[in-house]
Amino acid sequence: MEPTIVSGKEVSNKIKEEIAIEVEKLKEKGIKTPHLAAVLVGEDGASKTYVNAKVKACEKVGFDSSLVKLEIDISEADLLAEIEKLNNNADIDGFIVQLPLPNHIDEQKVTEAIAPEKDIDGFHPVSLGKMLLDISSFLPATPYGITEILKHYNIPTEGKNCVVIGRSHIVGSPMSVLMARNSYPGNCTVTLTHSRTQNLSAITNQADILIVAIGKPEFVTADMVKKGATVIDVGIHRVEDSSKKSGYKLLGDVKFDEVAPKCAFISPVPGGVGPMTIASLLKNTLLAVKLKS
């Protein structure tokens, strides 16, 4: 059985095209251009790459974008003051604070300082509460992106067993909520597994849909996957590889080469879930403008 390799790049490009058309319509109606801002603390390479990709994506769809670069040794109080400025800046519709933050800054405090109506990452307790109650709001970007992939490929979810590996507030927990809600994609029977789960392989072998966000390279192997399953790999790891020009290769949480032949659908790393996160941020920013106008 040849699996369908799901392309986050393809889905994300389609979403960007749709957003660009909507932005043109907003401008024709005299509604302001959506404006997304990103806050980057320090010089972390992966974070810089990611933030630059967001700025590029904004240009592509006709958004305005701003980048607020701060020193790595900025105090928590000063960072919170910068967030307050963005909260009060009427021109900025939504913003993200790029994680991870330096150890001396409390990430939860920073998340809670973002005005809920500008929380396009979907991490604020108000956003998560609305998601739980199925009230229209900003969904966490990665889980939102995964639901868009499932939709694009018409992957059936109703009545299916969905197993999520990993219970982070960023991916695993919200993903389990979205897959259980009474809509498409959703209506699954969901099992949320984690580091304390016993007999994990017995549980994953029951999964029609397996969503892996555990943060361990190539953790899921072929013997853990049911034939004909849909496997979505959220992990991304840089692993040294001297045969590559860059000196490293990217791996996911799933051992792709051995798992893929068993799947109906599988997302690769890179090019799977990754591009969808930025597309979701753009969708959330557009929603922020619509909620205001």
CATH of residue 207's domain is 3.40.50.720
pLDDT at 51: 85
Give the Cβ contact number of residue 257 at 10 Å: 9
Give, for 280, the enclosing helix (H) or strand (E).
Answer: helix 274-292
pLDDT at 90: 95
pLDDT at 235: 95
Helices first, then strands: H and E counts in the chain: 10, 11
pTM for this predicted structure: 0.94
Residue 9 placed within a domain: no
pLDDT at 272: 96
Number of domains the chain contains: 2
pLDDT band at 131 (very low <50, low <70, confident <90, very high): very high
Q: Which domain holds residue 212?
A: 141-273
Which residues are known catalytic residues? Answer: 54, 98, 121
pLDDT band at 152 (very low <50, low <70, confident <90, very high): very high
Residue 11 placed within a domain: no
Q: Do both 99 and 209 map to the same domain? A: no
> What average pLDDT is seen over the chain?
95
Give the Cβ contact number of residue 87 at 10 Å: 15
pLDDT at 286: 96
Q: What is the pLDDT of residues 216-255, one digit of tens each?
A: 999 999 999 999 999 999 999 888 888 888 888 899 999 9
The Cα 35–Cα 207 span in angstroms is 40
Residue 252 placed within a domain: yes
pLDDT at 242: 85
* β-bridge partners, 254: 220
Average pLDDT over residues 185-205: 98
Residue 132 placed within a domain: no
